[in-house]
Amino acid sequence: MIAIPTNVPQPKLNSNAEVVLQKRYLHKSLDGTQTETPRDLFWRVAAAIAAEERKYAGSSCEAEELAREFYDLMTSWKFLPNSPTLMNAGTELGQLSACFVLPVGDSIEEIFDAVKYAAMIHKSGGGTGFSFSRLRAKESRVGSTGGVASGPVSFLRIFNTATEQIKQGGTRRGANMGILRVDHPDVIEFIRAKETEGEFNNFNLSVGLTEAFMQAVEKDEYYDLMAPNSGELHSRLRARDVFELLVKKAWQSGDPGIIFLDRINRDNPTPDQGEIESTNPCGEQPLLPFEACNLGSINLSRFYLFGHNTDADPAAKGIDWDELRRVVHLAVRFLDNVIDASRFPLPLITETVHRNRKIGLGVMGFADLLFQLGIAYDSQAGIALAERIMGFIQEEGRRASAALARERGAFPAYETSIYAKRGEGPYRNATVTTIAPTGTLSIIAGCSSGVEPLFALCFIRNILDGERLMEVNPYFEGALQAAGLTSPDLMESVAAKGSIAAMDFLPAELRRVFVTAMDIDPVWHLRMQAAFQRHTDNAVSKTVNLPNNATEKDIYDIYWLAYQEDCKGVTVYRDGCKSVQVLATGDGQKKMDGSAIDAQSVQGNKSVSAVRKRPDMIQGFTQKVQTGLGAMYLTVNELEGAPFEVFATIGKSGRSITAKAEAIGRLVSLALRSGVSVRDVVAQIKGIGGEHPVFRGKGLLLSIPDAIAWVLEKRYLQNEHIADVNDLELQRCPECSEPLVFQEGCLSCPTCGFSRCG
């Protein structure tokens, strides 16, 4: 390890960055004591990555000097690598990549190999993508046993359950992408897989669309479903029916998304090595089987020039292009070194990664840069700036990769790559650019996330002892101060709405520039994604946010525009579409509130909460349920066919556990006797985690309350599935209790950096 010089300064951190680093990145001893400072962390990473220069005799950089450059690059918040690099560089684990794709073959051995490999990757801090398209269709004959296959969706459930048991790097659940080709015979079952909220909660799902399918949709024709195990025609479907079902499911819940497989493979730089079947969990990184990619992001908000430069292009004014060029070249060298520094969980992954040396340099802070320049996100000027910036990064990134190839040699598969066939290169890296989610990184860097607009200009964060802390975008706050408009009442109003679009008393130019995700017409979301995609090797992680009143036709049009604009995939999310919303605004919030009993009405009408008296005689049943704390005997007494009270006892348990079981039973009984529906009771206690989960049937019983919910749901709610409010998709952040936001293709917390997708 390169020793840290005495003159290396401590990084300047915002308060949120301090919290995120302490909770997620700074190393701790076995007893939880923090063993490194932010300065230690960034030097550990910088020194470990710079030390890889010593492997190359022709390197133009000295490792010691480069370590300081890398340190300054990160602590100036101009560039940050992906989270596994920050967590694991310079450590014994040494797994530095975030994205992996694993093949799922059509045999029990291959399927469970993939489950095992995924567990190893999740344990090391990575996320995984899978294509289930090779698996034979449900009810197909299995020659070796004479039985019938259960189909891709049944095995998807096994992968989901396995992921539930593995924490990524000991800090978070692993994240997965599951993909099925649109011409697979089980595609309809796959599209409907998430109809039941809470199912497959560790997976993002996408349907892989082909050019042939999209052409059939356009012409209103039927298309072929092919048996993957034999290559023979299985059946045919009307393409428009399938496309409209995809639209309907996206309207209902946001799942599944879509990717355009032929478009992805058109840009596959190494087609001789095989076809790309899947992506990483958020969809921005298409990869070959057993391939991984390490990512990093440039913070565009740090390249604003006070006063404009003399560039004749209006989209180029106000940006320090020379500094951006320097940072791009340094970041490409950093990411290439990460490949050599990383210890991958499987030898086959190591071999594939080193053969292609893919990196993914992206951006964050784009919305903040637009604010500084006074450019609206949903404007032609905003689109032009996106094209100019990403085109510049792509061009300079390629030049940096070519320079590294001259020093170190091209990536080994270069001679059979599309670049060699075009007479281009040689390059050190098969891909250079990716637009990845940056939820946690953007909190550390103090900037907006990825290429997304802000979700809110201002919001209230609840902290200890009921204290409320106002969080305001600094550029919005600065603009208000410059206009002499800052006031506590205004800030409270903005925090309540999240947006200023309807505040007619504010200057029109201010309202035009400081737009948020829900202010923007969905078409502009898609156009911005397409602008960045045109200059990105891999793909773009972005969410097209829709208002609650958006129609299925709106989503149909967005999907079709994504196809026409040459995007590689698209994710949409309609505000308030889930039965229990993570974070809703405007109409989405009203929709949900309309189905709930108003709190003031309850207080003013005691009959709503009156507790029914218990009859002298009542009948019921007792069910034995095995929990992780012993056998629970749950007695449910009924009145008029509905549950009226429950009693829970745990056999041979300690007094503390017995007391908790009794308390839960009493509270559930009180709710039922007060008129709370069994559905609402189940929704509240289902999914509560415990220390000793056990398997039961097709799933897990996580705790005593989860076991009670299981009994009630099984008996009284057989024809419906209740989504638990504790599910990661449906709750506030499990770490800081703030609302989660759906952006960049994933649920994440803008306060503490928690992300369902890693």
Positions marked active-site: 280, 282, 284
Q: How far apart are the first and last CA of the chain?
A: 28
Distance CA 367, CA 255 (A): 26
**Burial class for 691, CB neighbours closer than 10 Å (0-12, 13-18, 19+):** exposed
Tokens 């309207």 locate to: 251
Measured in degrees and rounded to the nearest 5, phi and psi for residue 195 equal: -60, -35
Q: Which pairing describes strands 203-209 and 176-181: parallel, antiparallel, or unpaired?
A: parallel
CA atoms 49, 54, 59, 62: torsion sign: positive
Two tokens, residue 668: 């559930």
Cα–Cα distances in Å, from 483 out to 308, 473, 475, 487? 21, 16, 12, 12
Contact 470, 498 (CB under 8 A): no
Q: Which pairing describes strands 359-364 and 167-168: parallel, antiparallel, or unpaired?
A: unpaired
Contact 24, 171 (CB under 8 A): yes
Helices (H), 11-101: 15-20, 38-50, 63-75, 83-88
> What's the 3-state SS for 84-147?
HHHHHCCCCCCCCCCEEEEECCCCHHHHHHHHHHHHHHHHCCCEEEEECCCCCCCCCEECCCCE
296's enclosing H/E stretch is strand 291-299
Between 63-75 and 321-341, two packed helices, what is the crossing angle to 10 degrees?
120
Rg (CA), the chain: 27
Cis peptide before 256 (omega within 30 of 0): yes
Cα–Cα distances in Å, from 471 out to 15, 397, 506, 510, 748? 11, 35, 20, 19, 17
Distance CA 159, CA 178 (A): 10
CA atoms within 13 A on the CB side of 263: 24
Between 522-533 and 552-564, two packed helices, what is the crossing angle to 10 degrees?
20
Contact 632, 664 (CB under 8 A): no
Contact 741, 430 (CB under 8 A): no
CA atoms 89, 439, 436, 61: torsion sign: negative
Which residue type occupies 738?
Answer: E
Considering only CA atoms, which of 606, 612, 655, 649 is closest in space to residue 627?
A: 649
Cα–Cα distances in Å, from 394 out to 67, 314, 418, 422, 589? 25, 20, 17, 18, 40
